[in-house]
Amino acid sequence: MFSEQTKIGINGSIEIPGDKSISHRSIIIPSISSGICEISNILKSDDVLRTMNAFKEMGVEIKEENKKIIINGKGLGSLKKPNKEIYLGNSGTSARLLTGLLSSQNFESVLTGDKSLSSRPMKRITNPLSEMGAEIVAQNGKLPLHIKGKVLNNCKIEIDIPSAQIKSGLILAALNTEGTSYINEKHITRDHTEIMLETFGADIETKKNVDSSQIIINGKKNLTPKNIDVPADLSSSAFFIVAALINKNSNITLENININPTRSGLLIALERMGANINIFNQKNRAGEIVANINVKSSELNGCELDEQMAKLMIDEFPILSIAASQANSPSYFKGLDELRIKESDRLELINDNLNRCGHYSKIKNNDLFIDPTKNKQIINSAIRTDFDHRIAMSFAVLGSKIGKLQINESDSINTSFPSFKEQFNRAGGNLI
Protein backbone atom coordinates (compact mmCIF):
# COMPACT_ATOMS: atom_id res chain seq x y z
CA MET A 1 0.00 0.00 0.00
CA PHE A 2 1.38 3.46 -0.90
CA SER A 3 0.18 6.77 0.30
CA GLU A 4 0.89 10.02 -1.51
CA GLN A 5 0.83 13.64 -0.54
CA THR A 6 -2.53 15.33 -0.40
CA LYS A 7 -2.94 19.08 -0.64
CA ILE A 8 -6.69 19.27 -0.47
CA GLY A 9 -6.91 18.43 3.22
CA ILE A 10 -9.14 15.90 4.98
CA ASN A 11 -12.81 16.69 4.51
CA GLY A 12 -16.27 15.24 3.98
CA SER A 13 -18.47 12.92 5.94
CA ILE A 14 -16.79 10.03 7.72
CA GLU A 15 -18.61 7.19 9.41
CA ILE A 16 -16.58 5.92 12.34
CA PRO A 17 -17.47 2.27 13.12
CA GLY A 18 -18.64 0.93 16.49
CA ASP A 19 -16.24 0.89 19.42
CA LYS A 20 -14.10 -2.27 19.48
CA SER A 21 -13.98 -2.68 23.27
CA ILE A 22 -17.73 -2.14 23.64
CA SER A 23 -18.46 -4.45 20.67
CA HIS A 24 -16.60 -7.37 22.34
CA ARG A 25 -18.56 -6.79 25.54
CA SER A 26 -21.79 -6.48 23.51
CA ILE A 27 -21.37 -10.12 22.54
CA ILE A 28 -20.00 -11.51 25.79
CA ILE A 29 -22.48 -9.97 28.24
CA PRO A 30 -25.70 -10.63 26.23
CA SER A 31 -24.52 -14.23 25.65
CA ILE A 32 -24.60 -14.87 29.41
CA SER A 33 -27.73 -12.81 30.09
CA SER A 34 -31.15 -14.45 30.47
CA GLY A 35 -32.97 -13.50 27.25
CA ILE A 36 -32.84 -11.81 23.86
CA CYS A 37 -30.69 -8.72 23.20
CA GLU A 38 -30.53 -6.67 19.98
CA ILE A 39 -27.18 -5.03 19.23
CA SER A 40 -26.98 -2.09 16.80
CA ASN A 41 -23.84 -0.61 15.23
CA ILE A 42 -21.56 -3.43 16.38
CA LEU A 43 -18.07 -3.31 14.85
CA LYS A 44 -17.72 -6.12 12.30
CA SER A 45 -13.94 -6.36 12.31
CA ASP A 46 -11.75 -9.47 12.48
CA ASP A 47 -11.22 -9.19 16.27
CA VAL A 48 -14.90 -8.82 17.13
CA LEU A 49 -15.89 -11.63 14.74
CA ARG A 50 -13.49 -13.90 16.66
CA THR A 51 -15.42 -13.21 19.86
CA MET A 52 -18.72 -13.77 18.06
CA ASN A 53 -17.56 -17.12 16.62
CA ALA A 54 -16.33 -18.22 20.03
CA PHE A 55 -19.81 -17.82 21.51
CA LYS A 56 -21.45 -19.51 18.52
CA GLU A 57 -19.07 -22.42 19.10
CA MET A 58 -20.23 -22.50 22.72
CA GLY A 59 -23.85 -22.94 21.63
CA VAL A 60 -25.10 -19.36 21.83
CA GLU A 61 -27.71 -18.46 19.17
CA ILE A 62 -26.43 -15.35 17.42
CA LYS A 63 -27.97 -14.12 14.17
CA GLU A 64 -28.12 -10.98 12.06
CA GLU A 65 -31.44 -9.31 11.17
CA ASN A 66 -31.89 -5.86 9.59
CA LYS A 67 -28.28 -4.87 10.33
CA LYS A 68 -28.72 -5.79 14.02
CA ILE A 69 -27.12 -8.70 15.85
CA ILE A 70 -29.64 -10.70 17.87
CA ILE A 71 -28.24 -12.73 20.76
CA ASN A 72 -30.32 -15.23 22.69
CA GLY A 73 -28.63 -15.56 26.09
CA LYS A 74 -29.47 -18.49 28.32
CA GLY A 75 -27.84 -17.42 31.58
CA LEU A 76 -24.54 -17.15 33.43
CA GLY A 77 -23.58 -20.83 33.40
CA SER A 78 -25.30 -21.79 30.13
CA LEU A 79 -22.36 -21.99 27.74
CA LYS A 80 -21.64 -25.39 26.16
CA LYS A 81 -18.28 -27.11 25.76
CA PRO A 82 -17.00 -26.20 22.26
CA ASN A 83 -16.28 -29.08 19.85
CA LYS A 84 -12.82 -27.79 19.10
CA GLU A 85 -10.17 -25.32 20.21
CA ILE A 86 -11.37 -21.71 20.15
CA TYR A 87 -9.18 -19.72 17.72
CA LEU A 88 -9.01 -16.02 18.62
CA GLY A 89 -6.81 -14.72 15.80
CA ASN A 90 -5.10 -11.45 16.78
CA SER A 91 -7.51 -10.47 19.55
CA GLY A 92 -6.00 -9.85 22.98
CA THR A 93 -9.31 -8.61 24.35
CA SER A 94 -11.07 -11.87 23.38
CA ALA A 95 -8.23 -13.90 24.92
CA ARG A 96 -8.08 -12.15 28.31
CA LEU A 97 -11.84 -11.74 28.75
CA LEU A 98 -12.67 -15.30 27.69
CA THR A 99 -9.99 -16.76 29.95
CA GLY A 100 -11.78 -15.22 32.92
CA LEU A 101 -15.24 -16.19 31.77
CA LEU A 102 -14.34 -19.79 30.86
CA SER A 103 -12.48 -20.43 34.14
CA SER A 104 -15.83 -20.50 35.95
CA GLN A 105 -17.81 -22.55 33.38
CA ASN A 106 -18.30 -26.29 33.94
CA PHE A 107 -16.29 -27.55 30.95
CA GLU A 108 -12.78 -27.68 29.58
CA SER A 109 -11.74 -25.40 26.75
CA VAL A 110 -8.61 -24.44 24.81
CA LEU A 111 -7.84 -20.93 23.52
CA THR A 112 -5.42 -20.41 20.62
CA GLY A 113 -4.44 -17.42 18.47
CA ASP A 114 -2.22 -16.16 15.66
CA LYS A 115 1.54 -15.62 15.90
CA SER A 116 1.27 -12.18 17.52
CA LEU A 117 -1.37 -13.19 20.07
CA SER A 118 0.56 -16.38 20.87
CA SER A 119 3.56 -14.27 21.84
CA ARG A 120 1.63 -11.97 24.21
CA PRO A 121 1.73 -12.44 28.01
CA MET A 122 -1.16 -14.34 29.57
CA LYS A 123 0.20 -14.78 33.11
CA ARG A 124 -1.20 -11.33 33.86
CA ILE A 125 -4.69 -12.91 33.68
CA THR A 126 -3.98 -16.55 34.65
CA ASN A 127 -2.09 -15.62 37.86
CA PRO A 128 -4.88 -13.56 39.46
CA LEU A 129 -7.45 -16.13 38.30
CA SER A 130 -5.47 -18.86 40.06
CA GLU A 131 -6.04 -16.90 43.30
CA MET A 132 -9.73 -17.73 42.74
CA GLY A 133 -8.83 -21.39 42.30
CA ALA A 134 -8.85 -21.41 38.48
CA GLU A 135 -6.98 -24.23 36.74
CA ILE A 136 -5.31 -23.03 33.58
CA VAL A 137 -2.31 -24.56 31.84
CA ALA A 138 -0.36 -22.19 29.62
CA GLN A 139 2.67 -22.62 27.37
CA ASN A 140 5.39 -20.62 29.19
CA GLY A 141 2.74 -18.13 30.23
CA LYS A 142 1.39 -17.84 26.68
CA LEU A 143 -1.27 -19.36 24.40
CA PRO A 144 -2.51 -22.02 23.91
CA LEU A 145 -4.36 -21.92 27.22
CA HIS A 146 -6.01 -25.11 28.49
CA ILE A 147 -8.77 -24.03 30.85
CA LYS A 148 -10.33 -26.59 33.16
CA GLY A 149 -13.57 -24.78 34.00
CA LYS A 150 -14.74 -25.22 37.61
CA VAL A 151 -16.47 -23.63 40.57
CA LEU A 152 -14.25 -20.74 41.71
CA ASN A 153 -13.85 -19.01 45.06
CA ASN A 154 -14.77 -15.38 45.50
CA CYS A 155 -11.74 -13.16 45.85
CA LYS A 156 -10.03 -10.00 46.99
CA ILE A 157 -7.50 -9.23 44.28
CA GLU A 158 -5.15 -6.27 43.67
CA ILE A 159 -4.26 -5.58 40.04
CA ASP A 160 -0.92 -3.78 39.71
CA ILE A 161 -0.76 -3.74 35.91
CA PRO A 162 -2.93 -1.04 34.31
CA SER A 163 -5.12 -3.28 32.14
CA ALA A 164 -8.86 -3.27 31.47
CA GLN A 165 -8.50 -6.72 29.94
CA ILE A 166 -7.24 -8.20 33.23
CA LYS A 167 -9.90 -6.39 35.25
CA SER A 168 -12.68 -7.46 32.87
CA GLY A 169 -11.53 -11.10 32.81
CA LEU A 170 -11.67 -11.15 36.62
CA ILE A 171 -15.09 -9.48 36.72
CA LEU A 172 -16.47 -12.07 34.27
CA ALA A 173 -15.08 -14.90 36.45
CA ALA A 174 -16.58 -13.32 39.58
CA LEU A 175 -20.04 -12.99 37.98
CA ASN A 176 -20.47 -16.78 37.93
CA THR A 177 -18.95 -17.27 41.42
CA GLU A 178 -20.90 -17.43 44.71
CA GLY A 179 -20.36 -14.60 47.21
CA THR A 180 -18.70 -11.21 47.06
CA SER A 181 -15.51 -10.55 45.08
CA TYR A 182 -13.42 -7.40 45.46
CA ILE A 183 -11.24 -6.34 42.54
CA ASN A 184 -8.93 -3.42 43.24
CA GLU A 185 -7.17 -1.77 40.33
CA LYS A 186 -4.21 0.41 41.25
CA HIS A 187 -4.64 2.45 38.09
CA ILE A 188 -7.97 3.41 36.56
CA THR A 189 -8.53 1.76 33.17
CA ARG A 190 -11.44 1.73 30.71
CA ASP A 191 -14.64 0.80 32.52
CA HIS A 192 -16.93 -0.42 29.71
CA THR A 193 -17.44 -3.83 31.39
CA GLU A 194 -18.63 -2.28 34.66
CA ILE A 195 -20.92 0.20 32.86
CA MET A 196 -22.55 -2.45 30.69
CA LEU A 197 -22.97 -4.90 33.55
CA GLU A 198 -24.74 -2.22 35.59
CA THR A 199 -27.25 -1.69 32.78
CA PHE A 200 -27.81 -5.50 32.69
CA GLY A 201 -28.72 -5.39 36.40
CA ALA A 202 -25.61 -7.13 37.73
CA ASP A 203 -24.89 -6.70 41.43
CA ILE A 204 -21.77 -4.62 40.81
CA GLU A 205 -20.52 -1.44 42.45
CA THR A 206 -17.52 0.68 41.50
CA LYS A 207 -15.78 2.96 43.99
CA LYS A 208 -13.44 5.36 42.19
CA ASN A 209 -10.60 7.26 43.84
CA VAL A 210 -8.33 9.74 42.06
CA ASP A 211 -6.09 7.15 40.37
CA SER A 212 -7.44 3.80 41.55
CA SER A 213 -10.77 1.99 41.77
CA GLN A 214 -12.47 -0.89 43.57
CA ILE A 215 -15.10 -3.09 41.95
CA ILE A 216 -17.37 -5.13 44.21
CA ILE A 217 -19.38 -7.97 42.67
CA ASN A 218 -21.94 -10.27 44.22
CA GLY A 219 -21.87 -13.29 41.94
CA LYS A 220 -24.58 -15.63 40.61
CA LYS A 221 -27.08 -12.87 39.96
CA ASN A 222 -28.96 -13.31 36.65
CA LEU A 223 -28.34 -10.64 34.02
CA THR A 224 -31.44 -8.97 32.56
CA PRO A 225 -31.30 -8.75 28.74
CA LYS A 226 -30.92 -5.26 27.27
CA ASN A 227 -30.60 -3.83 23.76
CA ILE A 228 -27.31 -2.07 23.04
CA ASP A 229 -26.49 0.71 20.58
CA VAL A 230 -22.68 0.65 20.28
CA PRO A 231 -21.20 4.18 20.12
CA ALA A 232 -18.50 5.03 17.55
CA ASP A 233 -14.89 4.29 18.47
CA LEU A 234 -12.64 7.16 19.64
CA SER A 235 -9.55 5.04 18.92
CA SER A 236 -10.63 4.69 15.26
CA SER A 237 -11.63 8.39 15.12
CA ALA A 238 -8.12 9.29 16.25
CA PHE A 239 -6.65 8.56 12.81
CA PHE A 240 -9.05 10.98 11.13
CA ILE A 241 -8.66 13.57 13.90
CA VAL A 242 -4.87 13.68 13.52
CA ALA A 243 -5.06 13.50 9.70
CA ALA A 244 -7.33 16.59 9.74
CA LEU A 245 -5.09 18.43 12.23
CA ILE A 246 -1.81 17.95 10.35
CA ASN A 247 -3.09 18.52 6.81
CA LYS A 248 -3.91 22.07 5.70
CA ASN A 249 -7.48 22.92 4.52
CA SER A 250 -9.11 20.20 6.63
CA ASN A 251 -12.44 20.35 8.42
CA ILE A 252 -14.30 17.21 9.55
CA THR A 253 -17.08 16.39 11.97
CA LEU A 254 -17.31 12.90 13.50
CA GLU A 255 -20.59 11.85 15.11
CA ASN A 256 -21.62 9.86 18.20
CA ILE A 257 -18.06 9.21 19.32
CA ASN A 258 -17.59 7.51 22.69
CA ILE A 259 -15.67 9.94 24.92
CA ASN A 260 -15.70 7.85 28.10
CA PRO A 261 -13.23 9.71 30.39
CA THR A 262 -11.24 6.50 31.05
CA ARG A 263 -10.44 6.47 27.31
CA SER A 264 -10.28 10.09 26.19
CA GLY A 265 -6.67 11.03 27.06
CA LEU A 266 -5.95 11.73 23.39
CA LEU A 267 -8.40 14.63 23.32
CA ILE A 268 -6.75 16.17 26.40
CA ALA A 269 -3.29 15.69 24.90
CA LEU A 270 -4.26 17.24 21.57
CA GLU A 271 -5.92 20.17 23.31
CA ARG A 272 -2.65 20.80 25.17
CA MET A 273 -0.90 20.77 21.79
CA GLY A 274 -3.16 23.57 20.58
CA ALA A 275 -5.47 21.48 18.38
CA ASN A 276 -8.59 23.13 17.00
CA ILE A 277 -11.10 20.53 18.26
CA ASN A 278 -14.66 21.28 19.28
CA ILE A 279 -16.64 18.65 21.22
CA PHE A 280 -20.39 19.22 21.20
CA ASN A 281 -23.81 17.59 21.53
CA GLN A 282 -22.78 15.37 24.45
CA LYS A 283 -25.26 12.65 25.44
CA ASN A 284 -25.40 9.82 27.92
CA ARG A 285 -26.14 6.53 26.19
CA ALA A 286 -26.63 3.67 28.66
CA GLY A 287 -23.89 5.06 30.91
CA GLU A 288 -21.43 5.79 28.08
CA ILE A 289 -20.86 9.42 27.04
CA VAL A 290 -21.05 10.14 23.30
CA ALA A 291 -20.45 13.42 21.49
CA ASN A 292 -19.79 14.95 18.07
CA ILE A 293 -16.27 16.15 17.37
CA ASN A 294 -15.30 18.87 14.89
CA VAL A 295 -11.64 19.09 13.87
CA LYS A 296 -9.89 21.73 11.77
CA SER A 297 -6.28 21.98 10.51
CA SER A 298 -4.07 23.31 13.31
CA GLU A 299 -0.56 24.48 14.04
CA LEU A 300 0.41 22.03 16.81
CA ASN A 301 2.92 22.50 19.62
CA GLY A 302 4.69 19.63 21.37
CA CYS A 303 3.62 18.48 24.83
CA GLU A 304 4.79 16.44 27.81
CA LEU A 305 2.60 13.60 29.09
CA ASP A 306 3.13 11.70 32.35
CA GLU A 307 2.59 8.00 33.18
CA GLN A 308 -0.99 8.63 34.35
CA MET A 309 -1.99 10.01 30.97
CA ALA A 310 -0.57 6.91 29.28
CA LYS A 311 -3.26 4.81 30.99
CA LEU A 312 -6.08 6.95 29.58
CA MET A 313 -4.96 6.66 25.98
CA ILE A 314 -2.81 3.53 25.71
CA ASP A 315 -3.95 2.65 22.16
CA GLU A 316 -3.45 6.18 20.84
CA PHE A 317 0.33 6.63 21.15
CA PRO A 318 1.09 5.54 17.57
CA ILE A 319 -1.20 8.22 16.13
CA LEU A 320 -0.34 10.84 18.80
CA SER A 321 3.32 10.33 17.86
CA ILE A 322 2.46 11.20 14.26
CA ALA A 323 0.84 14.43 15.48
CA ALA A 324 3.92 15.15 17.64
CA SER A 325 6.22 14.55 14.67
CA GLN A 326 4.44 17.34 12.74
CA ALA A 327 4.35 19.87 15.61
CA ASN A 328 6.47 23.01 16.06
CA SER A 329 8.29 21.86 19.19
CA PRO A 330 9.40 18.63 20.96
CA SER A 331 7.15 16.18 22.83
CA TYR A 332 7.95 13.81 25.65
CA PHE A 333 5.69 10.85 26.47
CA LYS A 334 6.45 8.97 29.69
CA GLY A 335 5.74 5.46 30.97
CA LEU A 336 5.04 3.60 27.74
CA ASP A 337 6.16 0.11 28.88
CA GLU A 338 2.73 -1.44 28.15
CA LEU A 339 3.13 -0.39 24.49
CA ARG A 340 5.84 -3.02 24.10
CA ILE A 341 3.38 -5.90 24.54
CA LYS A 342 0.48 -4.84 22.36
CA GLU A 343 -0.23 -6.40 18.94
CA SER A 344 3.43 -5.52 18.25
CA ASP A 345 6.20 -3.77 20.17
CA ARG A 346 4.55 -0.45 19.39
CA LEU A 347 7.16 1.69 21.13
CA GLU A 348 9.91 0.21 18.96
CA LEU A 349 7.86 0.45 15.77
CA ILE A 350 6.81 4.08 16.34
CA ASN A 351 10.44 5.05 16.90
CA ASP A 352 11.90 2.95 14.08
CA ASN A 353 9.32 4.06 11.51
CA LEU A 354 9.58 7.76 12.43
CA ASN A 355 13.35 7.46 12.01
CA ARG A 356 12.87 5.72 8.64
CA CYS A 357 10.86 8.77 7.56
CA GLY A 358 13.69 11.10 8.60
CA HIS A 359 11.82 12.20 11.73
CA TYR A 360 13.71 12.62 14.98
CA SER A 361 12.61 10.40 17.85
CA LYS A 362 14.31 8.33 20.49
CA ILE A 363 13.38 5.96 23.33
CA LYS A 364 14.83 6.23 26.83
CA ASN A 365 13.65 3.85 29.57
CA ASN A 366 10.29 3.29 27.85
CA ASP A 367 9.76 7.05 27.45
CA LEU A 368 9.48 8.50 23.93
CA PHE A 369 11.04 11.79 22.86
CA ILE A 370 10.05 13.31 19.51
CA ASP A 371 11.72 16.47 18.19
CA PRO A 372 10.21 17.71 14.93
CA THR A 373 12.64 20.65 14.79
CA LYS A 374 15.27 18.08 13.75
CA ASN A 375 13.20 16.39 11.03
CA LYS A 376 14.83 15.66 7.69
CA GLN A 377 12.81 14.91 4.57
CA ILE A 378 13.16 11.29 3.45
CA ILE A 379 10.85 9.93 0.80
CA ASN A 380 10.12 6.39 -0.42
CA SER A 381 10.22 4.97 3.09
CA ALA A 382 8.89 1.46 3.72
CA ILE A 383 6.93 1.23 6.96
CA ARG A 384 7.37 -1.90 9.04
CA THR A 385 4.08 -2.72 10.75
CA ASP A 386 4.59 -6.28 12.06
CA PHE A 387 0.91 -6.80 11.11
CA ASP A 388 -0.21 -4.19 13.67
CA HIS A 389 -3.39 -2.35 12.57
CA ARG A 390 -2.74 0.81 14.58
CA ILE A 391 0.83 1.20 13.30
CA ALA A 392 -0.43 0.75 9.72
CA MET A 393 -3.18 3.39 10.06
CA SER A 394 -0.95 5.84 11.93
CA PHE A 395 1.73 5.84 9.25
CA ALA A 396 -0.91 6.00 6.52
CA VAL A 397 -1.90 9.28 8.20
CA LEU A 398 1.73 10.47 8.17
CA GLY A 399 1.81 9.50 4.49
CA SER A 400 -1.11 11.82 3.80
CA LYS A 401 1.13 14.68 4.96
CA ILE A 402 4.66 13.82 3.84
CA GLY A 403 3.92 11.56 0.87
CA LYS A 404 5.05 8.25 -0.58
CA LEU A 405 5.09 5.86 2.35
CA GLN A 406 4.86 2.18 1.65
CA ILE A 407 2.79 0.57 4.40
CA ASN A 408 3.68 -3.12 4.62
CA GLU A 409 1.12 -5.79 5.68
CA SER A 410 -1.66 -3.23 5.72
CA ASP A 411 -4.39 -5.92 5.64
CA SER A 412 -4.04 -5.95 9.43
CA ILE A 413 -6.24 -2.81 9.39
CA ASN A 414 -9.22 -5.21 9.17
CA THR A 415 -8.52 -6.07 12.83
CA SER A 416 -10.32 -2.91 13.93
CA PHE A 417 -11.38 -0.72 10.98
CA PRO A 418 -12.28 -2.60 7.76
CA SER A 419 -13.58 0.52 5.94
CA PHE A 420 -10.55 2.68 6.84
CA LYS A 421 -8.83 2.71 3.46
CA GLU A 422 -11.99 3.51 1.50
CA GLN A 423 -13.08 6.26 3.90
CA PHE A 424 -9.58 7.71 4.27
CA ASN A 425 -9.18 8.00 0.51
CA ARG A 426 -12.65 9.49 0.09
CA ALA A 427 -11.82 12.11 2.76
CA GLY A 428 -8.63 13.16 0.97
CA GLY A 429 -6.00 10.60 1.99
CA ASN A 430 -4.21 8.69 -0.75
CA LEU A 431 -3.55 5.06 0.11
CA ILE A 432 -3.01 2.62 -2.69
Q: Which is nearer to ligand S3P, 77 or 121 (CB)?
A: 121
Q: Taking a C-beta distance cutoff of 8 angstroms, is the pair 290, 283 a contact? A: yes
Min dist CB 230 to ligand S3P, Å, is 13
Residues of this chain, 222-251, that bind ligand S3P according to CB under 6 A: none
Number of residues located near ligand S3P, criterion CB under 6 A: 11
Closest to 178 measured CA to CA, from 154, 156, 155, 197: 154
SS3 state at 214: strand
Q: Does 258 bind ligand S3P (CB under 6 A)?
A: no
**Residue of the chain from 315, 316, 371, 388 that contacts ligand S3P (CB under 6 A):** 315
Give the residue with the Cβ less far from ligand S3P, 167 or 401.
Answer: 167
Per-residue string for binding with ligand S3P, 149-168, x by CB under 6 A? --------------xxx--x
81 CB neighbour count, 10 Å cutoff: 14
Contact 376, 356 (CB under 8 A): no
**Residues in contact with ligand S3P, shown as a per-residue x/- string from 184 to 223 under the rule CB under 6 A:** ------x---------------------------------
- Sequence-distant (6+) residues with CB within 8 A of 136 are 99, 103, 126, 129, 130, 145, 146, 147, 148
Termini Cα distance of the chain: 5
Q: Which of residues 12-31 bind ligand S3P (CB under 6 A)?
A: 21, 24
Whose CA is closest to 150, among 167, 139, 138, 136? 136
What is the CA 188 to chain-centroid distance, rounded? 15
CA dist list (Å): 19 to 24, 131, 307: 9, 31, 24
List 31, 93, 116, 213, residue binding ligand S3P (CB under 6 A): 93
Q: How far apart are CA 51 and CA 278, in angstroms?
A: 35
The edge-to-edge listing of strands for the beta sheet with 288-296 is 11-13, 251-258, 288-296, 276-285
Min CB(311)–ligand S3P separation in Å: 8
Rounded to a whole number of angstroms, the minimum distance from the CB of residue 305 to ligand S3P is: 16
Q: Which residues does the annotation mark as catalytic?
A: 315
Cβ proximity to ligand S3P, 159 vs 405, nearer residue: 159
CB of 316 to ligand S3P, least distance (A): 10
Beta strands 381-383 and 405-407, pairing class: parallel
* Least Å from the CB of residue 379 to ligand S3P: 32
Q: Which is nearer to ligand S3P, 24 or 359 (CB)?
A: 24
Angle among Cα 33, 284, 164 to the nearest 5 degrees reads 55
Among 204, 314, 320, 347, binds ligand S3P (CB under 6 A): 314
Closer by beta carbon to ligand S3P, 93 or else 176: 93
Residue with Cβ nearer ligand S3P (93 or 177)? 93
Name the minimum Å distance from CB 417 to ligand S3P.
12
Q: Which residues bind ligand S3P (CB under 6 A)?
A: 21, 24, 93, 163-165, 168, 190, 314-315, 338
